[in-house]
Amino acid sequence: MKMIQLLIALSLTALVLSGCRGRTSEKPPIHLNPNMDTQEKYKPQSRSRFFKDEATMRMPVEGTVARGLLKADLPFYTGRNTDSSFVNTNPVALTEQVMNRGQERFNIYCAPCHSRLGDGKGIITQYQYPIPPTSFHQDRIRSMPDGEIFEIISQGIRNMPSYRHQIPVADRWAIIHYVRALQRSQHAVLSDIPKNQRDRIRP
């Protein structure tokens, strides 16, 4: 019995070794289990004799949306309502966490130009930036709908570049919450302060 096993092992080794011929060969390698390697198929970018336009690579059916990429929530993704007017209220609910995120992102992405106060005197103004960044503390920007600021961040405006690639959608809305906080901080009236704290304000 042992002998037979040894013989089988030896002949298998011989078979394996004889496979390594040590030189190149034009013949296809021995392929014991070819699976579907040699089936008829189209290679990418190759020509098709089946389709009229002769392209093997087909476009997705019109209206196809990749998983997770359905952007049906217009106000959130575009800052506009279905009638294409700007949304007035921020679609992201305000929480302390959102405000902190907005502050952090604002200080990273907007403050270099608009300054941490939003007064448009960011550090770039020391280096002859051609157009002074806008101050947020003017009535025109204070009364601007949230959706319009969203669009400005997403598309850029005149001399301000777009930040849609750097800032994800939810962060843009968080930044807008923070811009509103900055505006209130620079334009506060006495009634913004809780009654029991007003005596702490010096006239």
Which residues sit at the interface with ligand HEC, rule CB under 6 A? 109-110, 112-114, 124, 131, 133-134, 141, 149, 152-153, 157-161, 163, 167, 175, 179
Is-contact 112 126, C-beta < 8 A? Answer: no
**Judged by CB, which is closer to ligand HEC: 57, or 161?**
161
**Judged by CB, which is closer to ligand HEC: 149, or 169?**
149
Is-contact 190 198, C-beta < 8 A? Answer: yes
Which ranges of 32-79 would DSSP assign to H, the alpha helix? 74-78
Instruction: For the CB of residue 111, give the shortest distance to ligand HEC in the complex, in Å.
Output: 8
Instruction: For the CB of residue 172, give the shortest distance to ligand HEC in the complex, in Å.
Output: 7
**Judged by CB, which is closer to ligand HEC: 85, or 159?**
159
Tokens representing residue 133 in the block:
């960044």
Instruction: For the CB of residue 189, give the shortest distance to ligand HEC in the complex, in Å.
Output: 22
Exposure string of 83-102, with b = 16+ CB inside 10 Å and e = fewer, is eeebbeebbbeeeeebeebb
- Give the whole-angstrom CA distance, residue 149 versus residue 144: 7
Instruction: For the CB of residue 152, give the shortest distance to ligand HEC in the complex, in Å.
Output: 5
**Judged by CB, which is closer to ligand HEC: 161, or 193?**
161
Instruction: For the CB of residue 130, give the shortest distance to ligand HEC in the complex, in Å.
Output: 8
- The CA-based angle 74-79-80, given to 5 degrees, is 65
**Judged by CB, which is closer to ligand HEC: 86, or 109?**
109
Is-contact 167 102, C-beta < 8 A? Answer: no
